[in-house]
Structure 1
Amino acid sequence: MVASLDVGHPFRQASNLALNEVVARRKAAGEPLVHLGFGESLLPVPPVVRDWLADGAGRTAYGPVAGDSAVRTAVAGYWERRQLPTDPEQVVVAPGSKPLLMALMAVVDGDVLLPRPSWVTYAPQARLFGRPVHHVPIPAGHGGTPAPDALRETVRAVRRHGGRPRLLILTSPDNPTGTLAPPEAIRQLCAVAADEDLLIVSDEIYRDLVHSPDLPFLSPAEVAGDRTVVTTGLSKTLGLGGWRIGAARFPDGPLGAQLRTDVLAVASEVWSTLAGPMQVVATRVFEEPPVITTHVRAAAVLHGAVTRAVHQIVTTAGADCRAPAGGFYLYPDFAPVRHRLRERGVTDADSLQRHLLDELGVAVLGGHHFGDSPTALRFRIATSLLHGGDDAQRDLALRSPAPERVPHIAAALAHLTHAFGTLTTGEGNATR
């Protein structure tokens, strides 16, 4: 059976950004909200990174579309240290990884295959270019990568119905589930991609935020290097979302060279080049001096500790939820307590999202925004904004050996314990 196509008007604001603006307005009005609805890392920027930005302030020329030689060499070295030998000519830098993903949607002609659930931006980007989208179920143990047998079945069913499946997007670690696909799953998916002639885009923006360095990470580019584009950026690892720095690694060989040429053609008409000062920052960061690697490792430990604490809260409240392995996300399923939620008028993802916000003071993003079934009782939790409301609080969290016990984080966790307990057991009173 062919997976259902995404439909809807493509010209609407991204759901995560829209929710973030709603929460900002309501918090400014004095509402006591805990914001779990936006995947933004706001950890303090290391002072040396601010210095690098100042060093680049005089870079006012456009420069090459792909980025200058220094930044592409630094990014190539970053991937080289991750078992992906890379020539600088395989690299393109851009104002965030999001434009690179969109450019790939523009130049790869064919249907798009996505895990169900998957990040909120992939499907809308595809729709902007008229690309049919097919969601493929994820395995029970992890997200970010479709089940291999389901992928093969979907591809062949789409072809039988006249479709042209071509682009497979994977995320590892995953947004929205916060999980990491095991190496064997990656190998199986790469085998299916080879058999079915699929191009893979591996979104690895959370790669350096795997909670434990002992967890094995396998990039599809290590297995299917001739058909895999890898994307990354600095918005999550260093909290530089507003600076907009992303990079892509294209396959070595004719296919990769043509893809890179086509993406650069799009880039030349859309963003021209990564801003000069940001290229200076990117060069220094991707060279990975100890000040950067130490900071990123500390951030990964912090994200792991806080996300595990929230995982304990939602599972105690009765949800099924995969244990987190990387990044700062959870994807709980409240189907086990559906009968209790129905008593509160909660029957689907949308009503669950609204009830949590309006009655319990907790902002989340419903699973229907991620391509999931609208009738499911699932939503994404982003824990990164729990670290504090200013740099002083966030720095305290970053330096603490037990961040879940830092007073402002502990207060937020207490709010969540009360809210989810109220949601599923009726014990206690709503916060509003």
Structure 2
Amino acid sequence: MVSKRLMGVPASGTIALSNLVSFMKSKGADIISFSMGEPDFTTPQNIIDACKKSLDDGFTHYTNSAGIPELRKAISTKAFYENNIHCTAKNVLVTPTKHAIFMAALAFLDRGDEVIMEDPNWVTYDAAIRIAEAKPKFVTTSFDDGFVVDPAKIEDSITPKTKMIILNSPSNPTGNVIPRETLEEIANIAIENDLMVLSDEIYENIIYEGNHFSIASIPEMFDRTITVSGLSKTYAMTGWRLGWAIASEENLKALDIIQTHSISCCTSFAQPAAVEAITGPQNEKEAMVKEFRKRRDLAVDLIREIRGLEVNVPQGAFYLFPRYAPKIRSEIMCTKMLEEAQVAVTPGSAFGPNGEGCFRLSYATSEEQIIEGLSRIKKFMFTL
């Protein structure tokens, strides 16, 4: 029998849709997919070569559970100089980013604890909280306000059971970037109420306007923040499953207990490649971000020509979260779009109750696909 804790966790809407699209394509359907949060670029060659070398060198056995020293140092140096997080290699645990989120939930949440997070949000947070037998509390954000969270709403949601706040900036699914002043207000709230913060910064290097700000860079916040990030989005390394958590040594020990009893360590021969990714040439990363910005601007312009759709201009990541006019549920809307227009987008409801009335569109695909896909959506919207 399935455990009670798992019965309350829905399947991933994004993965389910991706599987459906793959099945339809295998049957010959001409599907344009804007559904997956994955760069369409190839991992830079210098990173691939570093991995090949580690294999040729026979680096194929267990590593330290927290990661090889060179990688932990590279990550901490990056966090210090790019994000102003005052950490050392001792504060870094190498682990898949999604795994870091689940470990943080299991390590720091007890049954009945409450966790505050934005709505809409990436559905994995909800799943991690529920598997830890804690309770998610949604703080709604608004399309009209660019989906930026209001610190006052966070403060109003706190109860004696509140243990943690989860933040994601830049955001999946909306692409919004939380302003520094907003994060500073949230930090004050966390300090005053003795709360932990889980800060998911996986899109930290994909920002088009403004600058990324890490809440853990605020001195009083470091000891109460788990910062997670990784290589998947920045270097087109989604299949490598390499990321990290940055935390105080005490909090890191708690995470490492779960690491040692679950995956033991990250893939050994991939870790030298991760060092190369972080410390090697960054020109391909910069070119990729520049290309994403061009695609964002193209997609926004085309969507604004479509009757019944509205869209914000996101500052980061590679998603748009348009609002549509027809009064139908987003799951039905997106199913009809897939069946009738052969375009795959993700229902807004997959990202929380407040995502209803929107859908997520990933522009991590070619300009040709964006133009053709949005042309199909334009025709589809005229039929509603």
Give the structure-2-normalised TM-score. 0.91
| Corresponding residue of 1:365 | 346
Distance 1:8 1:309 in 2: 41
Aligned to 1:198: 195
Amino acid at match of 1:277: F
Change (3 A) 1:420 1:8: farther
CA distance, structure 2, for counterparts of residue 106 and residue 200 of structure 1: 14
**Other-structure match for 1:150:** 153
Do structure 1's residue 258 and structure 2's residue 250 form an aligned pair? yes
Instruction: Give the alignment of 1:261-340 within 5 angstroms.
Output: 261-287=253-279, 289=280, 291=281, 293-317=282-306, 318-334=308-324, 337-338=325-326
- What is the SS of the residue equivalent to 1:242? helix
Q: Residue deviations 1:206-252, cap 9 Å, x none? A: 1111124xx132211122223222111111111111111011110xx
Poorly superposed stretches of 4+, deviation over 4 Å: none
Match of 1:378 among 350, 358, 361: 358
* Other structure's SS at 2:145 match: coil
Letter in 2 for 1:348: R
Query: Which of 320, 329, 333 matches 1:348?
Result: 329
Residue 197 of structure 1: SS of its match in structure 2? coil
Q: Deviations over 1:145-188 (max 9, x none)?
A: 631011111114xx4xxxx1111111111110012111111111
Partners in 2 of 1:378 and 1:11 — Cα distance? 22
Give, as a single letter, the amino acid of the residue that structure 1 aligns with 2:345.
Answer: V
Residues 141 and 322 in structure 1, CA contact (< 8 A), matched pair in contact too? no
Specify the alignment match of 2:73 in structure 1: 73
User: 1:8 and 1:356 mapped to 2: Cα distance?
Assistant: 31
Give the match's secondary structure for 1:208. Answer: coil
The alpha carbon displacement at 1:303 in A equals: 1.1
Alpha-carbon distance, 1:331 to partner = 0.7
Contact 2:330 2:358 (C-alpha < 8 Å) held by counterparts: yes
- The residue type paired with residue 7 of structure 2 is H
CA contact (8 A) 1:209 1:237 kept: yes
Q: Could you tell me the TM-score, scaled by structure 1's length?
A: 0.82
Give the number of aligned pairs.
370
Which residue of 1 is the match for residue 135 of structure 2?
Answer: 132
Could you tell me which amino acid in structure 2 is paired with residue 233 of structure 1?
Answer: G
Q: Which amino acid aligns with 1:66?
A: A
Who is 2:234 aligned against?
237
Q: Is the 8 A contact 2:39 2:233 kept in 1?
A: yes
- Give aligned-pair identity as a percent: 22
Confirm or deny that 1:222 pairs with 2:211.
no
- Of the three residues 242, 245, 249, the one matched with 1:248 is 245
State how far apart, in whole Å, the 1-side matches of 2:146 and 2:104 are: 26
1:197 partner letter? D
Aligned equivalent of 1:49, options 39, 47, 50: 47
1:33–1:361 Cα contact (<8 Å) kept: yes
Aligned residue number for residue 120 of structure 1: 123
Unaligned runs of 5+ in 1: 1-6, 251-255, 388-408, 428-432
Higher mean Cα deviation, 190-199 or 315-324?
315-324
In structure 1, the partner of 2:98 is: 98
- Letter of the 2:71 partner, please give it: V
Q: Counterpart in 2 of 1:35?
A: 33
CA-based RMSD: 1.9
Answer yes or no: is the 8 Å Cα contact 1:304–1:324 preserved in 2.
Answer: no
Contact 1:304 1:327 in 2 (8 A): no
Structure 2: give runs of 5+ residues left out of the alignment.
Answer: none
CA 1:146 to 1:196, structure 2 compared with 1: closer, same or farther past 3 Å? Answer: farther
Contact kept, 8 Å, 1:112 with 1:168, in 2: the verdict is yes
Instruction: Report the Cα distance in structure 2 between the residues aligned to 1:423 and 1:165, rounded to whole angstroms.
Output: 44
